[in-house]
Amino acid sequence: MTRSAPPTKEEIRQYAFERGADLCGFVSTARLNTVTPTRYKPSRLWPAAKTAISIGKRFLTGAAKVGITDSIQNGRWISWRTCDLLNTLALDIGHFLERGGQVALPLSSGNMADPDHTNRGVFAELSHRHTAAQAGLGVIGVPTFLVTPQFGPRVYLNTILTETEYEPDPRLDFDPCGTDCDACIKACPHEAIVRGRRTIKKPLCIPHAMPHGARPMRDFILGVMSKTDPKEREAALYDAQFLRLFRATVFGVGTFAGCFFCLEACPIGKDGPAMATPAAGTKQL
Ligand code: SF4
Ligand code: SF4
């Protein structure tokens, strides 16, 4: 059924919450084009877009909890499924907008390959975290992730662009990190978080955050190709890494958000049951 008028902001927000979003905010693309500190600006994707609708889905407390134990693969599975939920949600909102006579472009959460590999992994078409901060969902914290009052950094994001102009939401007056919190810095086993830096240290983080993505796949294939002994080649296909990469290809597990120490450590929004501490010697694969 086609609506006679575009839905209001509150109707869109209500629809997003009914469909499963935990957070939803609005920001003008003009502002995003000015402040987004990456080349992934909305104008690059769609110059006619006027508003970005930012949606967030909580990352389950239990997933962060098991993500720092040997059950990390389960946390990674929940990561990917949370992205899936956000992608479905963005599509639903896009259809909701277009049923109201608007034109909408839902983006993807966590599954665009960076074309020139300068970002070393898989990234979205625009910076969902900066969009969310500008739309009032949270603020960019010390680890350069979005930190929200409700869930701390344990939230995943997606964005829907639309040609319709909506009143932007106010940004948050929220300072979770202050000048001396260092919980996430201390929790990172790879020293990838540095207070005051514009990004995490990607070469130190990405191999752990995206352990079964395109680069590990390429390295695995090159490793098999470099073996001259047919028995060694065959043996490589029985290695656990082959199974992990197979699962990543089919289910997405480990291709995105595969390391959880910093998320688990943040005290903001940590109102669930007490978190487990990593067992001595626990390693991430
Ligand atoms: S995802 Fe892992 S490696 Fe990256 S900053 Fe967080 S704890 Fe460190
Ligand atoms: S652990 Fe502390 S410094 Fe890190 S994001 Fe949370 S509040 Fe900010």
Ligand nearest to the CA of 185: 2
**Helices 214-226 and 240-251, packing angle to 10 deg:** 140
CA angle in degrees (0–180, nearest 5) for 165-108-47: 40
Q: Which protein residue's CA is at the shortest distance from atom 4 of ligand 2?
A: 184
Q: Which is the closest atom of ligand 1 to the Cα of 204?
A: 3
Ligand nearest to the CA of 138: 2
- Residue keyed to tokens 């501490």: 277
> In a structure prediction context, what are the per-residue pLDDT tens digits for the chain, which is 285 residues long?
455 678 999 999 999 999 999 999 999 999 999 887 666 788 888 999 999 999 999 999 999 999 888 888 889 999 999 999 999 999 999 999 999 999 999 998 876 555 444 555 556 678 899 999 999 999 999 999 999 999 999 999 999 999 999 999 999 999 999 999 999 999 999 999 999 998 888 889 888 888 887 778 888 999 999 999 999 999 998 988 888 888 888 777 777 778 999 999 999 998 644 333 333 333 334
User: Hey, where are the domains in the chain?
Assistant: 1-212+252-274
Contact yes or no for 71/253 (Cβ under 8 A): no
Measure the CA–CA gap between 220 and 254, rounded to whole angstroms.
Answer: 15
Tokens coding 22: 């935990």
Give the number of whichever ligand sits closest to the CA of residue 205. Answer: 1
pLDDT at site 270:
82
Residue 11 DSSP label? H
Ligand 1, atom 3: nearest CA belongs to which residue?
Answer: 205
Task: Determine contact, residues 199/232, Cβ cutoff 8 Å.
Answer: no
Ligand 2: does its nearest atom lie under 6 Å from the Cβ of 177? yes
| CA-proximal residue: ligand 1, atom 4 (nearest) | 205
Quote the ligand 2 centre to 275 CA distance (angstroms). 16
Contact 198, 141 (CB under 8 A): no
Mutational pocket test of ligand 2: of 59, 129, 140, 142, the residue with most ligand atoms within 8 Å of the beta carbon: 142
Strand partners, 27: 52
Beta bridge partners of 23: 56
Tell me, what's the pLDDT at 163? 95
Cα 119-124-130 angle, rounded to 5 deg:
90
Question: Which two structure tokens, joined as six digits, stand for 76?
Answer: 């990674």
Question: Which pLDDT value is given to residue 284?
Answer: 39
* Shortest-distance atom of ligand 2 to CA 185: 4
| Coil vs helix vs strand at 162 | strand
Residues 6+ positions from 184 with CB-CB distance below 8 Å: 141, 142, 143, 153, 193, 262, 265, 266
Closest atom of ligand 1 to 143 CA is 5
The DSSP call for residue 215 is H
- Among candidate residues 270, 13, 233, the one with its CA nearest the CA of residue 155: 270
Does 233 contact ligand 1 (Cβ within 6 A)? no
- Close Cβ partners of 20 (under 8 Å, ≥ 6 residues apart): 57, 85, 89
| CA of 196 relative to ligand 2 center, distance in Å | 12
Query: In residues, how long is the chain?
Result: 285
Q: What is the pLDDT of residue 281?
A: 38
**pLDDT of 5:** 78
CA atoms of 190 and 259, how far apart (whole Å): 11
Does 193 contact ligand 2 (Cβ within 6 A)? no
Q: Is 229 helix (H, G, I), strand (E, B) or coil?
A: coil
